[in-house]
Every structure is written in C-alpha cells, then in structure tokens.
A and B are shown apart, each in its own frame.
Chain A
C-alpha cells in the first residue's frame, strides 16, 4: 500500500483539481482530504457521508468565578495574552493548561472541547476520509494526522493499493502532518515568481522530512520563461518534472459541473493529466 500527497506551497496552484483527476484515473484507492481548514475535494467527489466523528483533541479553560479571588496569577503566567482582566479569551487561548495548573484556588479547570469533525464517506471513486476543523480552532495538524490514520485503516481493511492525499497550502504544521511517512509528494506549482518562491520552500520541506518529490507545472503557458526556470531548478535538485498543464477555462467549467478534468474533457489539459498520472504511478512502483 502506497501513499501519495499532493502539495504546493503556494495556494491555488491546482492541488485539489489534480487530486480529483487522479481519483478518476486510479484504481483501488482511498482518498484523504488533508486540507481540514478549507476542504474542497468533496465539491468534486460528492461524498456520501457514512460515519461522522467528533474531533476532541484539546481542552479549553473554564473559570469558576465563585472560586476566583482575583489574584491575577493566571493572567501573569499566560504567554498568549489569553487572559485579560481575568476573562479568558478562547480565540487567543492555546489550551496549554498553565492557568489551571497555577491557580491557587483551583478556580480553572480544563474541559474537553470539540474542535471539529471527521467524516468517512463513499464516493464514485472509492472511500474518502475528510474533516472540518472548527472555526478558529487549534490542532489542525492533529486532525490531519487523524484523517491519514483513518485512511490507512480503511486501506488495510479493504486491501486498497494507494492512499491519495489532497494536501493543504503552506509549509507549516498541517502540511508536515500530511506528508510524514508518505512514499511520494507531488508538488503542484505555477510559473509565477510567487509560485517558484513557494515551490522552493515546500521542496525544502520535503527534503527536510526525507520524502521523495515530483513536480508538475500547472498553467505553464502563462509564462514560458518561468516554466523553464522551474525545470532547471528541478533538474539541479534531482526532482522529476512529470508534466506541464496548459491554462484552460475548461478547468473551471469542470469544477462548476462538479466533475474532475478527466470526466469533463478539457482537451490538452485532460491528455496531459493522463500522462502525468502514468508517470506518477510509475514513480510509486
């Protein structure tokens, strides 16, 4: 059983579009949406939710004002400015529990808190695990890890060959959680100064965590010079470029129709996508 995560560094390069295309082409897979913050894969895969679980991974402080003698120790010790005038601001609170530990009157207790939901669903391409982090909640990395864990369990139970993970943008905690221990990451980039800058950083993250990487260049014809720069960078750094996809408004039309770019024929985009999938599959062997 192999695991592939699609990442980008820069947002909006086409991760979800490409992940959905892979879902259309691959056989015997489990899909996982690791963008728990702003998940979009379900908009194309139209999952039927079979199981829902609460994600409770952290605690929040609750103050019992009848026990509080306003000594102010909690406010003094809090490093996140989450206690002002003895009122706890749950937005700023990171759930460390130091206030509860330090309160001489035990006026603060830490309570379990639902930080989101995890869903196990069926799609036309196979099972899918996805999640929704609560608004302004912490621990997105933990929720991503949980999504991946559940995907692995399903893959093992059902004898699935491949887990395809739609990763989040950026390079921080949720991205790291989405790539740890996978067999390959596919970095989707675009030929813009921002895209190149961000690609180099995410490639650095993959290197740091010793995960092999491939690159594909989306909307390559927006700037051919930059596309070449990306190819040169990848060659210098031993990263395979599996394909270059042209810009086409058809991709948006496919999204509006809730279809992947394989199901909704987008001409050269679809052709190139098939080639890319072949190469990615071969690299996973």
Chain B
C-alpha cells in the first residue's frame, strides 16, 4: 500500500505522522517528497548509501547556427526564451525542460544540456528504506525531483510519502497514484480552510482520504463537523502536549519519547488498510 501524507496547511504534523508511522510498522519505504524543506531525515537520521543529481534539460543555443527567427521563443509556453535584437535570452529558472524549443528550431541550433536542480539521497534508518530529495537553494522547480522520487516507489513495501504543504503541483505529484492520502490538520480556522483545499485536491486525483487531527484539544470543533458532513473518517487525534512539542523541537520521534503511541500508529495503519480494501464506499465521495 502506498500512503501519501498531505495537509494543505503547513506545520500541522505531516512529517511527525510520516516518521512515526514508519517507526511503528515493518517493511517500510519512506519517501520524503517535501524537496524544498525536507525534514524526515532530521528525525530518522538515515545512513545515506547512494546519492544522485536530478537535472532538467535546458536549451543551449548555438548562435552560429541561429538566425534569430524567434520560433523557439514563440513555442515556449513558459517564456523561458526571448529573442531580442540579434540575441537569444534564456531564463533557465522558468524552463520546464519540455524540449519544444529544440524540437521546433528550423536551424537545429538548440541543444539541450542537463542542468542540475537538486539531488536524491537513498539510505537506511534501521529497517526503514529512506529516500529524500533536496532542491538546490535558488531553484524554482521541485516537481522534477518529486517525479523522480515517485519513480522509486517499491510496491512490495508499505510506502509512506511525506508531501509538502499546500495543494498545488508539488503536492499533486506526491499524492497522485497513491492508494490513500492521509490529511493532517489542526482544529483551527486556518487548518480547516486548507484542509478543504487539500480534500478537493485528493478528490481531483481520485485518492481516498482520511484525517488526523493534531493538537486536537485547541481551537474549535468545525473540523469534525466538516469531516462528518463530507464523510471523511477522522482516523486519529493527537492532543496538544508540551512533551510532544518539546520532543519534536529536539528531533526526537514521538514513539521514542512516548512508546504507547506505537500502538496508535499501528491502529492508524490498520484503519487505512481496511478503508483501501473496502473501496470507495466509505472513504471518499467520488468526483
């Protein structure tokens, strides 16, 4: 089973859930797809065994062949190329590496060279197979790294994917094709607002959802009212507890500090498994 963990709102506890679920189960592959700000490694402290760069193909123009016809700039949907007064300007940070420019160039003047935008590291933390991606500081595009990470999913294991906050492309790439999307929220107006957006995203991707409410005893009851109305199961609640906050601040996994939580995470997994096996009747409203 492949489980993605998303939220909408940042800071609700995605990494906490991902890491502690991984530490409570067997046969785990954990993939940290928050490549902008990966945090899982801070808690799991993996031994990295392999690392490889991730690049995207960016155009290089051979100006000796170029006749400045401008077809490349016209073809580029991302405005990553501009042809002005006898020169070709490239805006690499806008380039998606689609190849349209080199395809269309009538003079064959464009060669694509791979530009590194980040790395993927693979290793082990105890028995957990660990993978994360790290976007280089200053780079704009996280999706190509996440796409590569998703290509490493091993379906013979229980795969846990930690997504980034929000609900746009990087999260979509992380959640797409997973069997279950666990949404971590907090019972506050911001939490609920962003949860709704995340639910819409998961429904767009036809991935069933369930909710974990973190800091469950602060705020108000509207998250539960929403989940009841939308028939989204609330699978776990974690109270606000200074001990949990302090352990988190030190990089100590919750189940290490409070081992009684291992059973709760195992139960969470069992519930998700049951929902995936039962199918759409309970866990999402089909689009």
Contact = CB atoms under 8 A, between A and B. Distances in A.
B140 A176 contact: yes
A71 to B, nearest CB: 15
B103 A136 contact: no
Contacts of B142: 170, 172-173
A136 B249 contact: no
Contacts of B36: 170-172, 175, 201
Interface string A119-163: 000000000000001011110110000000000000000000000
A249 B57 CA distance: 49
Nearest to B96: A94
Contacts of B167: 37-38, 135-136
A43 B8 CA distance: 15
A282 to B, nearest CB: 28
A204 B134 CA distance: 14
Nearest to A140: B168
Given A96-B77, A96-B78, A101-B75, A197 B188 contact: no
B200 interface: yes
A102 interface: yes
A226 B249 CA distance: 8
A193 B42 contact: yes
Interface string A199-216: 001101100110000000
Contact of B164 (A101, A170, A191): A170
Query: How many of chain B's residues touch chain A, expressed as a range?
Result: 35 or more
Contacts of A190: 249
Interface stretch (A7-15, A25-33, A47-55, A270-278): A7-15
A136 B219 contact: no
A209 B251 contact: no
A36 to B, nearest CB: 8
Interface residues of A, number: 66
A201 B141 CA distance: 15
Given A10-B11, A43-B190, A170-B37, A98 B103 contact: yes
Interface string A240-280: 00000001010010011010000000000000000000000
A79 B99 contact: yes
Nearest to A81: B147
B176 interface: yes
A171 B137 contact: yes
A16 B190 CA distance: 9
Nearest to B7: A11
Nearest to B169: A138
Given A37-B168, A193-B251, A92 B245 contact: no
Contacts, number: 190
B8 A38 contact: yes
Contacts of B242: 222
Contacts of B189: 40, 43, 255-256, 258
B104 A101 contact: yes
B42 A205 contact: no
A239 interface: no
B116 interface: no
B39 A91 contact: no
Given A137-B168, A223-B249, A256-B188, A97 B37 contact: no
Given A43-B189, A137-B168, A223-B249, A172 B139 contact: yes
A169 B10 contact: yes
Interface string B1-36: 000000011111001000000000000000000001
A234 B84 CA distance: 42
Contacts of A194: 15, 37, 39, 42, 248, 251
Given A91-B172, A169-B10, 13 more contacts: A16-B190, A35-B166, A38-B9, A38-B165, A98-B100, A135-B167, A135-B201, A138-B168, A168-B166, A170-B142, A170-B170, A252-B218, A258-B189
Interface of B: 8-12, 15, 36-37, 39, 42-43, 57, 75, 77-78, 93, 96-100, 103-104, 135, 137-143, 147, 164-170, 172, 176, 188-190, 193-194, 197-198, 200-201, 204-205, 218-220, 242, 245-246, 248-251
6 contacts: A97-B98, A136-B205, A170-B166, A174-B168, A195-B249, A255-B188
Instruction: In the A-B complex, list the 4 residue pairs whose CB atoms are closest, starting with the nearest.
Output: A11-B10, A12-B11, A96-B98, A193-B251
Interface of A: 8-13, 16, 35, 37-38, 40, 43, 58-59, 77, 79-80, 91-92, 94-98, 101-102, 110, 133, 135-138, 140-141, 168-176, 190-195, 197-198, 201-202, 204-205, 208-209, 222-223, 226, 247, 249, 252, 255-256, 258
